[in-house]
């Protein structure tokens, strides 16, 4: 009976240390992921290093996602020349043809990925609610997570701060 108790204590210690590191740094490393883009190419989390990146989990059936998308586009357009990028990750339940149609008809200027297996959403904290948006700094650390539509004024202040950090 001692082994389960020791195992539970070990897990608790690991979680406490991870929580302390997160609280001390205010960030945690973005999970290693491979995004399959609409053109069939791949982008990895490692490819994001050196840029401030917004990773948005969304679905064409999500009214909030569709409503916020023009603001995500304008945010991308505003900061892209300064080292900012965006990856929109369509959820596994979203039919790929809908995602392609949406991206083409709206002329989305950033990379769009389809998470066919749900592995990317799972890796990023088992994302199930859309929209869920992450801001990743140039070092590859998640510095903010939004569930639901972000406060775009706050989001822009955060992006400005992260871009200024060089």
CATH superfamily of 31-164: Glutaredoxin (3.40.30.10)
SS3 call for 150: coil
Each domain of the chain, given as residue ranges in start order, spans: 1-28, 31-164
pLDDT value at residue 16:
37
Contact (Cβ atoms closer than 8 angstroms) between residue 120 and residue 134: no
In whole angstroms, how large is the CA radius of gyration of the chain? Answer: 17
How far is the C-alpha of 87 from the C-alpha of 132, rounded, in Å? Answer: 12
Q: Specify the length of the chain in residues.
A: 166
Cα dihedral 4, 18, 137, 162 in deg (nearest 10): 150
- The residue written with tokens 């490692």 in the block is 46
Q: Could you read off the pLDDT tens digit of each residue along the chain, which spans 166 residues?
A: 454 444 443 333 333 333 333 433 467 999 999 999 999 999 999 999 999 999 999 999 999 999 999 999 999 999 999 999 999 999 999 999 999 999 999 999 999 999 999 999 999 999 999 999 999 999 999 999 999 999 999 999 999 999 999 7
Model confidence, pTM: 0.84
């Amino acid at each position: 009976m001692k082994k389960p108790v020791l195992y539970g204590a070990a897990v608790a210690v690991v979680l406490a240390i991870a929580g302390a590191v997160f609280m001390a740094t205010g960030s945690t490393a973005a999970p290693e992921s491979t995004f399959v883009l609409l053109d069939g190419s791949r982008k990895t989390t490692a490819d994001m290093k050196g840029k401030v990146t917004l990773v948005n989990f969304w679905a064409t059936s999500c009214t909030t996602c569709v409503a916020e998308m023009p603001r995500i586009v304008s945010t991308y357009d505003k900061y892209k020349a300064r080292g900012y990028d965006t990856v929109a990750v369509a959820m596994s339940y979203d039919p790929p043809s809908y995602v392609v149609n949406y991206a083409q008809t709206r002329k989305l200027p950033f990379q769009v990925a389809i998470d066919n297996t749900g592995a990317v959403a799972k890796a990023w904290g088992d994302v199930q609610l859309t929209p869920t948006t992450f801001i990743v700094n140039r070092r590859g650390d998640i510095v903010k997570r939004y569930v639901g539509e972000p406060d775009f004024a706050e989001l822009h202040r955060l992006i400005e701060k992260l871009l200024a950090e060089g």
